Amino acid sequence: MKRRTFITIATALLLLGATSCNNTNKQNPEATAPVAIEGGLKVAYIDTDTLLAKYQYAIDLEKQLADYTEQQRRYGQQQVETFQKDYNNYLQNGSTMTLTQQQAKEAELKQRAEKMQTLEQELMAKIAEKQSAETAKIMNAIYAYVREYNAANQQFDMILTKQATLYINPAMDITNEIVDGLNEEYKNLKK
């Protein structure tokens, strides 16, 4: 899996759902992120590139996806090599077979050749399906944590992604707090 594809998917999902609203006024005085207030609206942002690069769960899942992709690639390569070996074996030894055996072997090889043509597409579909499922897991974990963070700490009216803006005041950045909290939560879950 390409890291850029993963980051693009995650950023798109964050753009669609990372805005969190809460109308209560409970604030945690221990929260360290500065609160930027524009016209009474409390806004913060998260840099999703940094978040995904530092969030251990995302890093672990990315490694698992890379391993899964490599496993699927090796499986496909094995299938092609096995087919090629059987085909070459038939070319060398086919003349020793009866006509019925030759026809049966040719039909089998033809069917396997057709399967080889769709195998790569099937493997790519499996990889994409797994990638989508893992991305959803990461995004669900991030969304849940951001909602909990917002409820317990700053009570922002809006939390944006940095990528969704042309300019945003750096004082509104809560990325490191979110990353630290997510990593702590993940560390506790792994225990």
Is the pLDDT assigned to residue 131 strictly greater than 60?
yes
Neighbours of 131 (CB within 10 A): 20
Q: What is the pLDDT of residue 146?
A: 95
Residues 138-162: pLDDT tens digits?
999 999 999 999 999 868 999 999 9
pTM of the model: 0.69
Q: What is the 3-state secondary structure (H, E, C) of 99-128?
A: HHHHHHHHHHHHHHHHHHHHHHHHHHHHHH
Q: What is the pLDDT of residue 190?
A: 86
Q: Are 147 and 18 in contact (CB under 8 A)?
A: no
Angle between helices 99-152 and 175-190 (to 10 degrees): 120
Residues 62-81: pLDDT tens digits?
999 999 999 999 999 999 99
Q: What is the pLDDT of residue 12?
A: 40
Split into its structural domains, the chain has a count of 1
List the domain range (segments joined by +) for residue 164. 3-190
| Identity of residue 100 | T
Residues 100-124: pLDDT tens digits?
999 999 999 999 998 988 998 999 9
